[in-house]
């Protein structure tokens, strides 16, 4: 892989994380969830992927604390699916 491709991947990962973080900070958890899942699926093992996994657990916890248990479980199930498809 060329340095340009590596740089583009890094820039894309950074952009996606900033987008996900912006959604998360605005309380738009569903939109953030989709972006973080994209990072995990497309860039497994990257630093951004590891961070995205941690944020997804935070989202699941927030849903749980709000009494939205089905949504919390949905986040955990989707996160688990990414683990089986990227392994």
What is the model's pLDDT at position 26?
A: 97
> How many whole angstroms separate alpha carbon 51 and alpha carbon 68?
23
Number of domains within the chain: 1
pTM for this model (two decimals): 0.85
What is the model's pLDDT at position 13?
A: 94
What is the model's pLDDT at position 9?
A: 85
- Identify the burial level of 36 via C-beta atoms within 10 angstroms of its C-beta, where 0-12 means exposed, 13-18 middle and 19 or more buried: buried
What is the model's pLDDT at position 7?
A: 73
Output DSSP code: residue 68: -
Output DSSP code: residue 28: -
CATH code: domain of residue 23: 1.25.40
What is the model's pLDDT at position 84?
A: 80
What is the model's pLDDT at position 5?
A: 58
* pLDDT, mean of each 10-residue run, the chain (87 residues): 67 95 96 96 94 97 96 96 77
Task: State which residues form the domain around 21.
Answer: 3-86
């Amino acid at each position: 892989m060329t340095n340009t491709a590596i740089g583009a991947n890094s820039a894309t990962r950074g952009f996606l994380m900033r987008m996900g973080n912006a959604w998360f900070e605005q309380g738009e958890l569903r939109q953030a969830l989709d972006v973080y899942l994209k990072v995990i699926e497309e860039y497994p093992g990257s630093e951004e992927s590891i961070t995205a996994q941690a944020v997804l657990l935070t989202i699941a916890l927030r849903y749980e604390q709000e009494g939205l248990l089905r949504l919390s479980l949905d986040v955990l199930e989707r996160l688990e699916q990414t683990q089986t498809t990227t392994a």
